[in-house]
Amino acid sequence: MSLSDALARFARDAGVPQDEDGVVFAEPWQAEAFALTVRLHEAGCFTWSEWATTLGDVLREARERGESDDGSRYYEHWLAALERLIVVKQVLSAADLDQRKAAWTEAYLATPHGKPVEL
């Protein structure tokens, strides 16, 4: 199965927002988070069931905190679920994840506008 086929299937099964042209991403980072999730799933880092449960937990917790459910923060919740699952499944430790996020932030802030961020 090609990556594009896997992405389409994964998006459909996950209830990811789509239009007639496919998956809808408002920002490039959303597409990257989505693709990383698919790749980690394909690599066997977690099962589809584990992913669905974790994303559901994060969305439920957001509702319980009283956050609006208008879909505008869907990928923020997606990313939170991915980070949670990465730590739970010991793909990275919490400390390693924090270090990578800090390194990315530093690289992003040091990268001129329009240039790709490199770590």
Assign residue 101 the CATH number of its domain.
1.10.472
More confident residue, 49 or 9: 49
Q: Is residue 43 part of a domain?
A: yes
Q: Which domain does 57 fall in, by range?
A: 3-110
Query: In which element (H, E) is residue 19 found?
Result: strand 18-19
Q: Is residue 115 part of a domain?
A: no
The pLDDT score that the predictor gives to residue 3 is 54
**What is the pTM for the complete model shown?**
0.77
Q: Is residue 117 part of a domain?
A: no
The pLDDT score that the predictor gives to residue 31 is 85
Q: Is residue 119 part of a domain?
A: no
Per the structure, the count of domains in the chain is 1
Q: Is residue 94 part of a domain?
A: yes
Q: Is residue 118 part of a domain?
A: no
Q: Is residue 36 part of a domain?
A: yes
